[in-house]
Amino acid sequence: MKTYAVLVAAFLVCFAAAAADGPGYTCSMRVGNSSTDETVSKGGAKKSKTAHAAKSVKTKTTKRSMSWPVSVSLRGDNIPTDSIKLKCYFFGTTNGNPELLGEKTLSVELDEKGNYKTEVESPTEKLVQKTIKTSRLKTVGRGAHATKRAVPSGTKSVTTGTRVTGCIIQLVVKGKVEKSYASNSGWAKFAKTDPVSIPDVLKIR
């Protein structure tokens, strides 16, 4: 019985020491569903004509950004309120090629209950879509009554510019990534490292 009591006491001493060595607080981060803010403008059709063909080009420009609601909470003792940050990485494609669109770091300012809420917003990017209609000019009739009529020969759409596709958000406390979020599940393992391996993220669509 005496041996058992000694073992229990030793365990409690070790547990207390481990607790003392720990940070003394717990962290949580929740990222909600993304939302999109966009504006669309359309240009009038630009027409051109040659002796044998005609072309009409319509342009639509879309400016778009994405945002994610983020909630952070810390509970416990000795919370380092001056060393809490959100590191954000925004990804997208330009003319179909993946790239890092931007980064930002936000200082987390906890309220008296240890909570913080914000909206993480991506850069605003622009896409330009051109709809091109072509036609050939066909002569109808003869002599003085001959006229040229446009006969449709094809329509194609060409889109250029940059599109936002997602983000990685990290909750960093005292220089350590405590929690992370990736909008693409394939990015999740890279979201846990600091710094994020951008080349590896860009390989995953």
Task: Identify which of 146, 158, 153, 131 has the alpha carbon closest to the alpha carbon of residue 53.
Answer: 153
Q: Give the mean pLDDT of the chain.
A: 87
Q: What is the CA radius of gyration of the chain?
A: 30
pTM score: 0.79
Q: Residue 68: its pLDDT value, please?
A: 98
Task: Identify which of 178, 199, 200 has the alpha carbon closest to the alpha carbon of residue 189.
Answer: 200
Q: Residue 144: its pLDDT value, please?
A: 67
> Tokens at residue 142, please?
């003869």
Sequence-distant (6+) residues with CB within 8 A of 103 are 87, 88, 89, 90
Q: Residue 47: its pLDDT value, please?
A: 85
Beta bridge partners of 64: 38, 125
Query: Which parts of the chain sit beneath pLDDT 70?
Result: 1-22, 51, 141, 143-146
> Tokens at residue 16, please?
């207390």
> Tokens at residue 196, please?
């994020």
Identity of the residue numbered 62: T
What DSSP element (H or E) covers 200?
Answer: helix 198-202
Q: Residue 46: its pLDDT value, please?
A: 87
Q: Residue 74: its pLDDT value, please?
A: 97
Report d(CA 23, CA 80) in Å as an integer: 10
